[in-house]
Chains A and B, each alone.
Chain A
Amino acid sequence: MLVRMLLALACQLLATSFAAAEVAPQERIEIGLSTESIPITANFSGEVLTIFGAIENIDPLVQRQGRYDVFVILEGPRTQLTTRRKGRVLGIWMNVEDRAFNSVPTSYLVASTRLPRDITNAETLGRLGLTAGAIRLSMSDGEAEPGADQFVNATKNLKKRSRLYATFPASVRFVSQTLFRAQLALPANVPLGGHRVKAFLFNSGQLVAQTNANLRIEKAGLEFEVFRLAQDRPLIYGFASVLLALAVGWLGRIFFRKD
């Protein structure tokens, strides 16, 4: 299990919340990541990422009644996405229709203290994107055309099936009055790059505080050096591939020569 915690921050938060207790100021939510990047090796098959956080200026009465709720979201880097639909043409199945989406999160993992619909209303869930199903996907064009909905739904379903979009209710737990711990299952195919960690604090169904932080997921190891070379220096990569092939062909000839 990957544990990214910040106990030091929690202690500091406790101290400040005592000092400011009598004016009952607004609650604040903090998340802490012990590192700015997570390296993942080639044989990575999915892991649980734990994120710790703390609430400042907590109202002990509200907390005792269990009316605080927390969402922690890990949003993957955004890409352009094209969703295609196959149809039958002369008996052959081929792509016949497509829609392009702008700026779609490659992954979207949501952890919350309870079922999202028990925490707040659907309008708020949709506006803040608090469930994987509630993300708004914006199309480049053709949004008003009939059948646009099926592309939005198909996109989300495909993402859910590959476990890139997921909601984990009851996976945020309070470990003390002010400290909480969120657990998110990173799938094996978690996208590389800059991810965004977002946290929302609700009091009795009302959003009272939010924050965010950056986290890079980087893949490490020889295989990913190859990937990076192919992306960053494609021409050198191409020449290297050819040289490798020439070497293997020539060596094979030498090893097995009979004439």
Chain B
Amino acid sequence: MSIYLPIAELSVNLYVLFGMGAAVGFLSGMFGVGGGFLITPLLIFYNIPPAVAVATGANQVVASSVSGVLSHLKRGGVDFKLGIVLLIGGIFGAAIGVYIFSLLREIGQLDLIVSLLYVAFLGVVGSLMMVESVRAMRKAKGGAPATLRKPGQHNWVHGLPFKMRFKASRLYISVIPVLVLGLLIGLLASVMGVGGGFIMVPALIYLLKVPTNVVIGTSLFQIIFVAAFTTIMQAWANQTVDMVLALVLMVGAVIGAQYGAQAGQRLRGEQLRALLAGLVLLVALRLAYSLFVVPDDLFSLSQVAI
């Protein structure tokens, strides 16, 4: 059964699209990630224009983050104060990002930049995760317990001014790195159509030393708002949010996430991370390949109504 996407302006197979949403939802439930960084490249592979894929990806992230944050709220795993400071940075970042997005689209380099950013980020994050999980697996075999956080350790971040107390995270740190982090995530969210959890979570743990029990909830909390803001800005400035496409993906993703979460409980943490790293690297390679292969047609058209 085919379905017409009014903004992408093409007909696609409803089941393929739903399956795509469900598969990404399954993975995001299994690994506890938003899935935005998988859905946008998948849509691009499926011939959805990159501009629409990115903006619609942001919309889909809203749905999956809401689903996730509700369970963390119940366990008190959200530091609202930290989330709001991150959010202030995030809104500025998203606004700048949407502006850059429009500019790139105008000069015809958007598709290229989106692909390059994905190759770079997925390549780096995938490699780091792979190295880390392989090392953890070796350690686990050797019998030594794998530790992530060493409490009491300070780094350069803690020497910055404008300190603020975040009670839920038991932190007393400068607002500067928090705002900058939020800004960077906002930029990524709008230009790449991702939630940014895959950058936010490690940054909160390693850079700001936020306790792991509030990291994911807080990250999801601020992602909802940044993704919602990005969706509205993209719809307003670029008219590239496809509601029909987003709806099919969201429903698939929400359902898939439930089964993914169950499957995730049966696998070990290090193995899960190695699997996810492999997947991330595969997507990066596939995107890199399409940058180097000779295109079918060297010429392309883009028209603006007058």
**Residues 227-242 of chain B, each 1 if its beta carbon lies under 8 Å from chain A, else 0:** 0100111111101010
Residues of A within 8 A of B64 (CB): 249
B246 lies within 8 A of A86 (CB): no
Q: How far is the CB of B91 from chain A (nearest CB, A)?
A: 14
The reply on A94 being an interface residue by CB < 8 A is yes
B232 lies within 8 A of A79 (CB): no
A81 lies within 8 A of B235 (CB): no
The reply on B44 being an interface residue by CB < 8 A is no
Residues of B within 8 A of A256 (CB): 254-255, 258
Stretch at the interface among B184-192, B277-285, B291-299: B291-299
Pairs of residues from A and B, 4 with the lowest C-beta to C-beta distance, nearest first: A249-B66, A238-B235, A252-B254, A238-B232
Docked pose: A87 CA to B292 CA in angstroms: 11
B236 lies within 8 A of A241 (CB): no
Q: Given that A95-B109, A239-B232 are contacting pairs, would A227 and B306 also be in contact in the complex, using a CB cutoff of 8 Å?
A: no
The reply on A245 being an interface residue by CB < 8 A is yes
Residue among B59, B71, B306 facing the most chain A CB atoms (10 A cut-off): B306
Residues of A within 8 A of B295 (CB): 86, 93
A248 lies within 8 A of B239 (CB): no
Stretch at the interface among A2-10, A109-117, A228-236: A228-236
B70 lies within 8 A of A250 (CB): yes
The reply on A259 being an interface residue by CB < 8 A is yes
A235 lies within 8 A of B291 (CB): no
User: Across the A-B interface, how many residue pairs have beta carbons closer than 8 Å?
Assistant: 172
Residues of B within 8 A of A42 (CB): 4, 6, 11
A231 lies within 8 A of B250 (CB): no
B241 lies within 8 A of A237 (CB): yes
The reply on A246 being an interface residue by CB < 8 A is yes
B246 lies within 8 A of A245 (CB): yes
Give chain B interface residues in 1-24, CB to chain A under 8 Å: 2, 4-7, 9, 11
A245 lies within 8 A of B301 (CB): no
Docked pose: A2 CA to B50 CA in angstroms: 35
Residues of A within 8 A of B257 (CB): 252
Residues of A within 8 A of B269 (CB): none
Residues of A within 8 A of B4 (CB): 42-43, 223
Q: How far is the CB of B235 from chain A (nearest CB, A)?
A: 3
Residues of A within 8 A of B254 (CB): 248-249, 251-252, 256
B→A interface (CB under 8 Å): 2, 4-7, 9, 11, 59-60, 62-67, 70-71, 74, 108-109, 112, 228, 231-237, 239, 241, 243-244, 246-247, 250-251, 254-255, 257-258, 291-295, 297-306
A80 lies within 8 A of B62 (CB): no
B112 lies within 8 A of A237 (CB): no
A242 lies within 8 A of B232 (CB): yes
A241 lies within 8 A of B59 (CB): yes
A241 lies within 8 A of B108 (CB): no
A83 lies within 8 A of B62 (CB): no
**Residues 68-106 of chain A, each 1 if its beta carbon lies under 8 Å from chain B, else 0:** 000000000111111111110001111100100001101
B241 lies within 8 A of A94 (CB): no
Docked pose: A232 CA to B304 CA in angstroms: 15
A245 lies within 8 A of B108 (CB): no
Docked pose: A106 CA to B70 CA in angstroms: 48
The reply on A155 being an interface residue by CB < 8 A is yes
Residues of B within 8 A of A246 (CB): 62-63, 66, 228
Residue among A43, A154, A242 facing the most chain B CB atoms (10 A cut-off): A242
Residue of B nearest to A78 (CB): B306
B109 lies within 8 A of A259 (CB): no
The reply on A148 being an interface residue by CB < 8 A is no
Residue of B nearest to A150 (CB): B299
Docked pose: A235 CA to B300 CA in angstroms: 30
- In-complex Cβ contact of A248 among B63, B231, B303 (8 A): B63
Docked pose: A244 CA to B62 CA in angstroms: 9
